[in-house]
Structure 1
Amino acid sequence: MATEPAGPLRAWRRWRLPGRGGDGADSERGIRRAAGSAFLIRIANAGLAYVSQILMARWMGTFEYGVYVYVWTWVLLVGTVADLGFAVTAQRFIPRYTQEGDLDRVRGFILASRWVPGFFVTLLAVVAAVSIWLLDGRIDAYLVFPLYLACLALPPYGLTGAQDGVARAFGWINLALVPPFILRPLLLLAIMLGLFAAGLPLDATAAMWAAVAATWLTSIGQIAILDRRVGARLESGPRRYAHRLWVVSALPILFANIFQFMLSYVGVILLQAYRSPTDVAIFYAATKVTAIVSMVYFAVSASATHRFAAFEAAGDRPGLAAFYAGSIRWMFWPTVLVGTVILAFGKPLLWLFGAEFMAGYWLMWVLVAGLALRAAIGPGEQFLNMMGRQRLCAAIYAAAFAFNLALCLALVPGWGAMGAAVAATASIALESLLIFLAIRQNFAIRAFIGLAGATRG
């Protein structure tokens, strides 16, 4: 009769693995609770961002606020790749090593998830700063110093992204999401409010100083809390590394993230090239309103990803298939519900942007249909990444991006914003089909609402 492992591994298994009792973190009750927390955090973030943008725009004025938004957008763009894919990779390897009892590699991965992306993003920040210096005179003078400050924000921004994945791998969804989505914007707003109350000038430079301070404080605080929690969960001991395996596994995820990002913006870019700014504004407003629906996908994915790796490490394929089926249910039906509510109030929500934006109402129907279709196959991207098929996942996103680009080139010149919306939903349909086929072929799981969990003999 097999005996229960002793020490920290036993405590981990009781807390982490399916069917072991405890708090039921890996049951459907657990995924509902974690997904609900993630969804509420994103909703709170959206509300906080909306209020913050209004206040900062009023305090700074249109011009200075526009400079700040432009500069901070560069931080967001670079931040998309700053973690080098380690945020997702953490959710694959930490549960696997823990299941195997290889706690030395768990400790090694946690440290590597900081210094590998940290070295990369610091080098990137130095290169960016040198580029700004070399381009001095070609860049508008009012942008130069705020751009230098943006370089200071890049290292902690990248580290926060990487530690997000480590926290999720331990099931600490609040520690993963609250720092970047709640704490950082709150700190930024508090610093700006302090400057405003002190009567100091509020311009783009002041806002960037506030953003740099908020980003560093958030990153340091998150790492400190994470270290304390990990120390309570794992005994101190030696570290072992598998740098080549971790980097090779992370790079396809990095490329997939890049293709995902490009998918999100290709419609806007081509609308700007072929149509009027009005079309761009209407399409952008429609996508921002329907983005609330996509928060369900984010919430369930954030709470389910590391659990796929735990099932795989335990060798429990029937449990894996059943858990995947549950994740689809908790992604699809709430997506339909939220999408229905958004469409029911679509016209008033668009009217808040201005009466002319109500022309984007039918775009919302097309965009919501695509989000519902993506939800119907569940967190397939995360599933493939956790199962070691990250290259296949990156290839699927590359194909979806190429398809979206081709459709936008064909439809946007004649159909405008509706062409961009149709192209976005059609590319989601192709992406979903390819993920469905990949999961069925490689894992004998039919990843679709009502079908998931059924396996071949």
Structure 2
Amino acid sequence: MFEGAKQDAQEAQLSHSQGFLSQAARSIAMRVSAAGLTFGMALVVARALGDRGLFGEYSLAIFWMNILAIVAKLGFDTASLRFIAQYRAGGEDALVRGYDVTARRWTFGMSLVMSAVMLMGTLLLRSMLSEGVFWCLTIASALLPVIVGIQLREAGLLAFGRVMFGQTSGVLMPLILIALVLSLPLLTQQRLSPPLVVGLQLVSAVITLTFVDWMNRRTFAEVTEVEQPEVRTREWLHVAVPILLVQFLNLVQHQSGIGLCGALLDKEAAGLFSAVVRVAGVLFLGLQAINMIAAPTIASLYHSGRQAELERFVKTCSLASGGFAFAFMLVMILFGRTVLGIFGDQYVEGFVPMMVMIAGLSLAAAAGPVTQFLLMTGHQWDCIKVFSVNVVVCLAAAIVVIPTYGVLGAAVIAAFARLSSCASMVLLIKRKHNLWCIAGWPTDSTKAPTRPTEPATPQRAAA
């Protein structure tokens, strides 16, 4: 009887792993398509603008818009992966509806505030900005609320298990922008300017938001009939705000190089580093795709005390993301110069900084979804501590390193930031949960020693 139960457990785990890998494969396929289009969009924009400095103006505006968009979302997008899935599993439609309404209201209001802050800051600094940067930032301030609306609605689709539609913007928006950027010069017989490209991105974002909002309303139709939504704003903010801090610090830590190159060097350096970041960032496709479907599973296994299965699951995630990253690194070693050359001959000099960044990021990718692991197990404040220390150290180092070593120095700082934060979180997970969240072949969890895990109390689940 015991052997039969053991065999059933092994078959269940195998089925679970196969199901996860199947979902991951579909998600990765969607992400690869989105990344290819996003890369193509950056390539088309860079070629259309022609000059590296003009591409730098466009990149700086999008960078600052993304920073403020993180703040405007208040963490509600990531928190929805936790709360909506939890409430749906419990059949609590009133809470699902209440969370959706609350998240929309708070993020819309905050996005208007951040848009106003961006616009006012641009006006105050106008004398210090070039004409192109000024208008790029001005138009990007109008783009900000649209991007926030798209990302919040896509998070809701992901929480409902609509993985493909939850990544619509990564495919639809680049397609529309590429079509506009290629067709407009043919119609006007004039070269595009950076502010005009940002304006075209605003048009593509509005069209994308219209489609995503329609899909979101169809998906939420089953809960929109609830007469009285149940609202727990304080509880939701208690979880969402720390997630906001994690997202903000993570973005500052890994993408501040564009802004620092623009501030400490020049807009041409910012344009070169932006191209390097866009190419190097593709290697996290595997990790991002896995995170989308891994987070709810991590939370479920952890709160049910299934320690051995949890370790097996995170090792599978780490192995998948690490394998993808090292395969990407090999491809870039062989074809990296060619890829950068597609942006233009002036971008080829970014090959060495790109490979430095890719080498560090590939090692970090082998740690798998460490940030999601800590967020889903109630350790968001530990994430904040790790990222806070890293941001302070890396920004201090960047002020010295970037003026001396240029774009190469920015790449070294970016690689170190990612690697050190992932290493810190791996050690943190080992200390708190006695498991290694690193790439490795998952062992048979039926033979693995389990560590007693106390049942999750309501307070712990809310944390």
TM-score range, shorter chain: 0.7 to 0.9
Structure 2 unaligned regions, length at least 5: 1-10, 452-463
Task: Provide closer, same or farther for how the CA distance between residues 347 and 214 of structure 1 changes in structure 2, counting only shifts above 3 A.
Answer: closer
Q: Match of 1:35? A: 28
The two structures, once aligned, show a CA RMSD in angstroms of 3.9
One of 278, 281, 298 as aligned partner of 1:291: 281
TM-aligned CA deviation for residue 105 of structure 1: 1.4
Q: Match of 1:344? A: 334
Q: Match of 1:246? A: 236
Task: Provide closer, same or farther for how the CA distance between residues 152 and 304 of structure 1 changes in structure 2, counting only shifts above 3 A.
Answer: same
| Separation in structure 1 between the aligned mates of residue 392 and residue 202 of structure 2, nearest angstrom | 36
One of 170, 186, 191 as aligned partner of 1:181: 170
- Tell me if structure 2 keeps the 8 A contact 1:105–1:241: yes
Structure 1 unaligned regions, length at least 5: 1-17
Q: Match of 2:43? A: 50
Query: Could you say what secondary structure the match of 1:239 adopts?
Result: coil
In the TM superposition, what whole-angstrom CA distance separates every residue of 1:222-269 from its partner, at most 9, and x where no partner exists? 121112123258874542121112112112222222222222244455
One of 407, 414, 417 as aligned partner of 1:424: 414
- Tell me if structure 2 keeps the 8 A contact 1:146–1:205: yes
One of 203, 211, 217 as aligned partner of 2:201: 211
| Separation in structure 1 between the aligned mates of residue 215 and residue 365 of structure 2, nearest angstrom | 33
- Tell me if structure 1 keeps the 8 A contact 2:60–2:258: no
TM-aligned CA deviation for residue 435 of structure 1: 0.7
In the TM superposition, what whole-angstrom CA distance separates every residue of 1:242-298 from its partner, at most 9, and x where no partner exists? 111211211222222222222224445555676688876665554443222232222
- Tell me if structure 1 keeps the 8 A contact 2:28–2:290: yes
Q: Match of 1:397? A: 387
1:439 partner amino acid: I
Task: Provide closer, same or farther for how the CA distance between residues 358 and 29 of structure 1 changes in structure 2, counting only shifts above 3 A.
Answer: same
Q: Match of 2:74? A: 84
1:294 partner amino acid: F
| Separation in structure 2 between the aligned mates of residue 52 and residue 438 of structure 1, nearest angstrom | 41
One of 420, 439, 442 as aligned partner of 1:449: 439
In the TM superposition, what whole-angstrom CA distance separates every residue of 1:305-356 from its partner, at most 9, and x where no partner exists? 2332344455544433322221112111121111111112233334445667
TM-score w.r.t. the length of structure 2 is 0.79
Task: Tell me which moved more, 180-189 or 61-70.
Answer: 61-70
1:387 aligned onto 2:393: no
1:36 partner amino acid: A
Query: Could you say what secondary structure the match of 1:298 adopts?
Result: helix
Task: Provide closer, same or farther for how the CA distance between residues 274 and 21 of structure 1 changes in structure 2, counting only shifts above 3 A.
Answer: closer
1:373 partner amino acid: L
Task: Provide closer, same or farther for how the CA distance between residues 455 and 118 of structure 1 changes in structure 2, counting only shifts above 3 A.
Answer: farther
Task: Provide closer, same or farther for how the CA distance between residues 313 and 91 of structure 1 changes in structure 2, counting only shifts above 3 A.
Answer: farther
TM-aligned CA deviation for residue 368 of structure 1: 2.3
In the TM superposition, what whole-angstrom CA distance separates every residue of 1:45-95 from its partner, at most 9, and x where no partner exists? 21233235434x37xx99987766654554334223321111111112122
One of 130, 153, 156 as aligned partner of 2:146: 156
1:324 aligned onto 2:314: yes
User: What are the equivalent positions in structure 2 for 1:9-24 lying under 5 Å apart?
Assistant: none
User: What are the equivalent positions in structure 2 for 1:53-132 lying under 5 Å apart?
Assistant: 53-55=46-48, 57=49, 71-129=61-119
Query: Could you say what secondary structure the match of 2:220 adopts?
Result: helix
TM-aligned CA deviation for residue 447 of structure 1: 0.8
1:155 partner amino acid: P
1:219 partner amino acid: L
User: What are the equivalent positions in structure 2 for 1:214-293 lying under 5 Å apart?
Assistant: 214-231=204-221, 236=226, 238-267=228-257, 285-293=275-283
Task: Provide closer, same or farther for how the CA distance between residues 21 and 249 of structure 1 changes in structure 2, counting only shifts above 3 A.
Answer: same
TM-aligned CA deviation for residue 304 of structure 1: 2.2
TM-aligned CA deviation for residue 403 of structure 1: 2.8
- Tell me if structure 2 keeps the 8 A contact 1:79–1:154: yes
Query: Could you say what secondary structure the match of 1:336 adopts?
Result: helix
Q: Match of 1:308? A: 298
Task: Provide closer, same or farther for how the CA distance between residues 443 and 404 of structure 1 changes in structure 2, counting only shifts above 3 A.
Answer: same
Task: Provide closer, same or farther for how the CA distance between residues 105 and 20 of structure 1 changes in structure 2, counting only shifts above 3 A.
Answer: farther
- Tell me if structure 1 keeps the 8 A contact 2:111–2:148: yes
Task: Provide closer, same or farther for how the CA distance between residues 445 and 191 of structure 1 changes in structure 2, counting only shifts above 3 A.
Answer: same
